[in-house]
Each structure stands twice: as structure tokens, then as C-alpha cells.
Structure 1
Amino acid sequence: MSKRSVWVDTSGSKGYRFHDEHPFHPIRLELTEQLLRLSGEFPAAELIVPPFAEEEAEQAICKLHRHDYVDTVLALSEEHPDPEAVRKADAFGLGADGDTPFFPGMHAATRSIVAGSLAAADAVMSGSADHALHLAGGLHHAFPDRAAGFCIYNDAAAAISHIREKYGARVLYVDTDVHHGDGVQWFFYTDPDVFTLSIHETGKFLFPGSGFHHERGDSSGYGACLNLSMEPYTEDESWLECFGEALARAAAVFRPDVIVSQHGCDAHAFDPLAHIHCSMKIYREMPRMIRECADTYSQGRWIALGGGGYDHWRVIPRAWSLLWLEMSSSPLLKAIDGDSPNAALLPLGWPQLESPDRPDELPPGWLDDTSDWTPMPRRTEITAKNREMLAIALQHIG
């Protein structure tokens, strides 16, 4: 059965921009929207975030984040911030030399992101849509008292809290970013009605250094937290094997009322900030698996957010577009999945954006031709370690 899917407008959040050299750049959104438009797949009608959502977002931010932190973000959002606020910036993870440096207008820009994720949650939970996609969202590293990992306010946690408070629904949060979804996990670490599942490169080698299998929740929330800590240089088959088995087990045991997923695109081999060796195949398959779980356990209710990803040209536009194609049940998926290989090419003329950062060569198709990729020499060992980790991680799940 066809599902109603809505695309949340991201124009209000494109001011979320640290500086031109920063890897977290809004060009990712522009390139994705261009690709979908040229493919004839961009939605004719977007969900425009209503003005009152900004007020709701402000309230949600103040519920989630400590007041002194919010006050500091506000002060540092000025064009010429007070020196006292600048002096405090490092203590709140916003120092000019850190990974999440303050910038003018950051409070308003991040509030817009929170508002978009709240609007996506309401669209699905009210029944006006089955699926909602907000690609500007997914700032999963923000904590109550500090920014981290390019994230200022935690819109994913705000949306989940909103769903819990307004609709009383049980939420399965699925994080596919290559970096552990630490902020969301810790917000709900003792909540038995929010299950957090994160697949990521092991924190032994990658920021934020957490997300190990022994992190299983605490107090009444014990057992409602599942971490898949993958070995560096994991490839498609091992990644999807672990993700598929873990997602199926978690959904079957937890039986969520709604799924909220975060879709960072940085587990690809081209990504410059991680060490996983996957192809575009995982970004075709993971949304399919999530949708199947939503159809089976949560009457199709599915809210998807963006996230990380730092190969702006070759990876993110294709990965996020594939997510939308799955959410919107696009007929193009038949071609991408192999019924008509020639139709699986990207549209002529994409991208229309010129930039000195644009690579000389871009992938011609929706999926990667991995036939000339150098195989990982430790493939068997990596796969075995991932299976061992999965077995341990699943011991407390059902």
C-alpha cells in the first residue's frame, strides 16, 4: 500500500553554517534537492514549518538544555558577542578553535532545525502523513549542557521528547551515522519507552569515543539501548548483516509505536572523517529495512532526519535522495535495484552547482560500481569480529 510522505522545508535552517572551510556545510542540502529535482522526484508540495513552531521549538530547547547553556548560545549568536560570553564559549563546547565554533545567528538557525523536526513528528503522529523527512535535522551529539560534534541543540531528542509528552508513544530511535549517537542515547538512557539503536564505527578509533556494547541503558531503561560498534574497514555485507539482525530483533522485542531515524552518510568509503569501507549499497538497503520495520510494528509511522556526512558531492546527495525515494515509494527504485540498469544512471546535467570544491569526476550512477575497489585484506577477520560484537550486544535483547 502506498504511504503518504512529506518533505519538510529546510530553507529556515540553511543559516546553520559555521564557516566556509567547516565540513558541516549546507551545500549538502542544496545538492540533494538539485538531484531530486532533476530526477523528477522532488515533492510537488513541501511541509512548510509554521511560524508558531518556532515558539514550540524555543520551549523544547529550554526543556532539554540547561538554561546557562542556552543563554550562552544566545549571547554568542550576536554579530559582535560580549567578551564575557566569548570567554565562556570553550566551557560549553562552542570555542572558536573547537569542532563546533560559535557563529552569528546560530541560535535562530538551530531553533529552525528543532522546529522542523517537531513539525515532522506532528505530521506523522497526527496521522496527516505516514512518513516525514527532515534532512536538516539529526544533530545527535548535542548534550544538555554543551555543544559537540557540529551539533548545538539536539533536535532528534526534542522530537522524541515531544512525541512522548504529546502522544504517549513508544519510540524506536535508529541512528545510522558512522559516529555514535551519544547525545540522544544519554538523553533517554533511563527511559524504558525510548529504545536507542546506533550502528557506528567503534569508539576505540573514532569520535565520540563511546557506543560500546556494554552501554545498555540504566535503571528502568536497562535493555532499551543497543550499540553496534563496528570494526574499521567494515564493508557492505558485514555492516548490513549486523544492522539487519539488530534492527529486526529490537523492533520485534520493543514493538514501537513510531520509528525516528537519523541518516548520517559518513560510513561510505569516500568519507574523509571515518574509516568504514561501505558503498552506496548500505544507503539503499538501510532505509528499506527501517521501512519494513515501520510497516510491521508501527503502522508505517516513520520520521527520518539527516545527520553527518562529509563527502558533499559524491555521497550525500545520492544517499539522502535514496532515502526519500524509499520513503515516497518512487518507481525509480525498480531501475536502481536492477530491473533496468541503464535507467539507474544519475540525470544528465547534475549537479548544476559550480564550485572550486567540486571533484573532477562524479559517480555516474545511483549505486557504486565496486568491481574495481581494492578488497580489504582483513575482510574475514573484520567480519568475524563484527559478528562476535553483535552476539554480545544482542544478549540483553529479548
Structure 2
Amino acid sequence: MKDKAVYVRSTGASPYRFNDEHPFSPLRVELAETLLEASGALPSESVLKADTALDEQLALIHRPDYIEAVRGLSQPVPPASAAGLARRFGLDSEDTPYFTGMHEAASAIVGGSIAAADAVLSGRALHAYHMGGGLHHAFPGHGSGFCVYNDAAIAIAAMRRKHGARVLYIDTDVHHGDGVQYAFYEDPDVFTYSIHETGKYLFPGTGFTHEKGIDKGFGACCNVPVQPYTEDESWLECFTETVTRIARAFKPDLIVSQHGCDAHAFDPLSHVHCSMRIYLEMPRLIRQLAHELCDGRWVALGGGGYDPWRVVPRAWSLVWLVMSGHPLASRLQEPQGGLSLLPQAWLELWQPQAPVALPLHWLDDTSAWSPMPRRAEITLQNRRTWELSAQDY
């Protein structure tokens, strides 16, 4: 196996854009990629271009009538039945409205995640990162939560079929990874783990501790729903204590992780109050577990994150810095490492277009942040939650 990481780029994915006002924008990937390039961290030899997924691959998770509906709604002039189709298949909401070219762009995203997983399990790479992936809310017969096709679930299903791999799926998006969870809710060989803001207050309203799988899959599912206004220390305690136990108990052949970065305090679509620190520490732990348990086989995907200027570029870049073993990832661990400056060239490129002042450093200086009220109570509630979630592992 080659001891290297590959960065997967989905050719044809950039048109995945619902409308100009929608928070899910391909600009997020461009901002992060240019940050890596300006940092000298994304050499051309690390980039792998992926093909678009075929309908037969989409059908590993999605129903044929849904795929056909997505294809029809993607036309410049949709069929006369478009309104009914969109309503039936969950593509008429403010969150997930159909758009021209939807099928082609979503299929390209799926192709990228399949390519990443196959590169690792075929031995062509040790790790693989598909920043444009992680659309974890789509279901077999309907779109949801900005997601049309569930690339994470399809890639896992493809690897189960081709390689027979036992897969640990780790979802760190602030929104519960419902689509992936329910795709494998009966499968004992795919463990789905999600840490997220509790569904009591946040979309999609699922992901509680009692959701553990059914039938043969019972026990191969773990949810850690944290309280609103959770901060770094409590989030990382919950994550470290639970995911470490679960990974060691499950003993996967492959780890697939989703790195939505919307648990940051600046994100407008959640209530969690973490800093950039968790987006350095979580991939570090995942990488460590991959080397400990499955010979390093690790696939990382992007996901949510809706502060595209101050949060997403740094958070998604950190995943690659950790994955590729870039020296900057180690430097950021040092006592003053968080003060490492972002590349001036990147700031000069994007600040004229940004509606906010871009951050100057890789990590946040949280000393200037006001502490959250009820910090001790939130920490205690979260501790009780993770203890309940992990009690069987």
C-alpha cells in the first residue's frame, strides 16, 4: 500500500447550487482549496480526478423512481409533472429545491466519494479526502437537508459490495447524519456514529441515544446528541470518549468520516459554540484510530458548514493538513501554534469579495469570546449523554 493521501476532486460537481440565496454553495470548496494551495499543501501529484457515478451505483441506495425523478427535474425545461414530482420526492422545499443540472452535479459528487473509498480499499492510497462530499441527509426515495443523493451511503455500499469491508462511519456535522444511519440501520457490518446538536432543537429532529439499529444491526449505531451552546472542552470530551470506545470495539476495515463544520460558534444554522480547535483535534483522533485499527485506511468527506468565509476554508483545510501529515498540522498543536498566520496571498485574493473580515490565524483566539452561561450544567448534561451512549461499548 502506498503511504500517501490523495485529494479527490469531483469533475462536474461545481454546478451543485440551488440558488444564489441558498447557504449551500460550491464557493465553500473553492475557498478551502485555494487556502490549501496558498499554503503549499496541495501539490498536483496528490490530486485525483473522479468520474461521475453511474445510475447503477446510485441505485445501491436510491430507488429507481427517485433517480428518474431527479433526472427529469434536472432538465432546463422540466416535464409538466414537475411540481407533483418535486413534492412527492422532497425536492420542492426551501432547503432542497430542484435546479437545472441537479442530477449531473449530484452524481459527480457521488463519483468523488466512491473514487476516494476505492482508492483506499484498493491499496492505491492510505487516506483519501473528498472535500465536496458528505451529503448525509438524502434518503432512498427523497431529498432532504440540501442533499439530493447520499454520496457517503452510496460509497459505503459500493465498498461493502466490492471489498466486503466492515465500515465505521463517523459523522461530526452539527446535524444528525440521519440518511446514512437509516441506510444501514439493519446492517451489523456498518457502524454509524454521529455527534451533533440534539434533535430537540435542530434539524433533522433525530439522532437520540435510543437509536441503536434494529434486527441484526442493533448495537451498530451510536448517537451523541449534545446540548445547545456546547463549547470545545465538552464537545471534545464527548467525541473522544465515545468514538474511541466504539472504534476499538467494532474493529473496522475502513473508517469513513464526515466533517461538516457547522458546530462552530459563527455558523448561522446551529446553536453550538465551538471554535476551530475541534476541527483540528477530531481528524487527529480519527487518523490515530485508523492507524491503530485498520492499517490507516481512512476516507474523509466534507459536509455542512454555512459560514463560508471565516469557518469552512480553515476547518476543511485542517482535515487535509492532518490527513496528509503536513508540518503545519503539528505546528498548530504547539502552545502558540494557533497564532500561525493564514497565507497573505489567500487573504488578498478573497478579502475584497468577502462581506466580513477574514480571520488572520488558523485557529481562533477564544480568550476574547464571552463564556457561555450554564457552562457547568451543559458539560454535566453532555457527560451524562455520552456515558449513556457509550455504555455498551
For 1:40-79, list aligned pairs within 5 A.
40-49=40-49, 53-54=51-52, 56-79=53-76
Q: Which residue of 1 aligns with 2:81?
A: 84
Q: Which residue of 2 aligns with 1:348?
A: 344
Paired residue secondary structure (1:164): helix
For 1:104-143, list aligned pairs within 5 A.
104-143=100-139
For 1:203-352, list aligned pairs within 5 A.
203-338=199-334, 341=337, 344-352=340-348
| Cα separation, 1, equivalents of 2:139 and 2:7 | 27
Paired residue secondary structure (1:45): helix
| Cα separation, 1, equivalents of 2:290 and 2:169 | 12
The CA deviation at 1:47 is 4.1
Q: Which consecutive unaligned segments of at least 5 residues does structure 1 have?
A: none
| Cα separation, 2, equivalents of 1:391 and 1:369 | 30
| Cα separation, 2, equivalents of 1:332 and 1:339 | 13
Kindly indicate whether residue 37 of structure 2 is the aligned counterpart of residue 37 of structure 1. yes
Paired residue secondary structure (2:366): coil
Is the 1:114–1:137 contact (alpha carbons within 8 Å) kept by the matching residues of 2? yes
Paired residue secondary structure (1:100): coil
The CA deviation at 1:43 is 2.5
Aligned AA (1:62): A
Q: Which residue of 2 aligns with 1:102?
A: 98
| Cα separation, 1, equivalents of 2:348 and 2:7 | 22
Q: Which residue of 1 aligns with 2:390?
A: 394
The CA deviation at 1:333 is 1.9
Paired residue secondary structure (1:299): coil
The CA deviation at 1:351 is 3.4
Is the 1:196–1:226 contact (alpha carbons within 8 Å) kept by the matching residues of 2? yes
Paired residue secondary structure (2:148): coil
1:271-321 Cα shifts (integer Å, max 9, x gaps): 000000000000000000000100000100000011000000000000011
The CA deviation at 1:86 is 2.4
Kindly indicate whether residue 196 of structure 2 is the aligned counterpart of residue 200 of structure 1. yes
The CA deviation at 1:363 is 1.4
The CA deviation at 1:330 is 0.3
Q: Which residue of 1 aligns with 2:150?
A: 154
Q: CA RMSD in A?
A: 1.7
- How does the TM-score come out when normalised to structure 2? 0.97
| Cα separation, 1, equivalents of 2:114 and 2:146 | 20
Is the 1:202–1:231 contact (alpha carbons within 8 Å) kept by the matching residues of 2? yes
- In structure 2, the CA distance between the partners of 1:12 and 1:353, relative to structure 1 (3 Å rule), is farther
Is the 1:3–1:329 contact (alpha carbons within 8 Å) kept by the matching residues of 2? no
Aligned AA (2:328): L
Aligned AA (2:204): P
Paired residue secondary structure (1:124): helix
Is the 2:127–2:299 contact (alpha carbons within 8 Å) kept by the matching residues of 1? yes
Paired residue secondary structure (2:168): strand
- In structure 2, the CA distance between the partners of 1:180 and 1:343, relative to structure 1 (3 Å rule), is closer
The CA deviation at 1:26 is 0.4
Aligned AA (2:54): A
| Cα separation, 1, equivalents of 2:113 and 2:338 | 36
Paired residue secondary structure (1:9): strand
Is the 1:31–1:353 contact (alpha carbons within 8 Å) kept by the matching residues of 2? no
| Cα separation, 2, equivalents of 1:385 and 1:25 | 34
| Cα separation, 2, equivalents of 1:149 and 1:180 | 11
Is the 2:347–2:358 contact (alpha carbons within 8 Å) kept by the matching residues of 1? no
Paired residue secondary structure (1:391): helix
Aligned AA (2:94): G
- How does the TM-score come out when normalised to structure 1? 0.95
Q: Give the count of matched residue pairs.
A: 393
The CA deviation at 1:3 is 3.7
Q: Which residue of 2 aligns with 1:16?
A: 16
**Identical-pair percentage:** 57
Paired residue secondary structure (1:242): helix
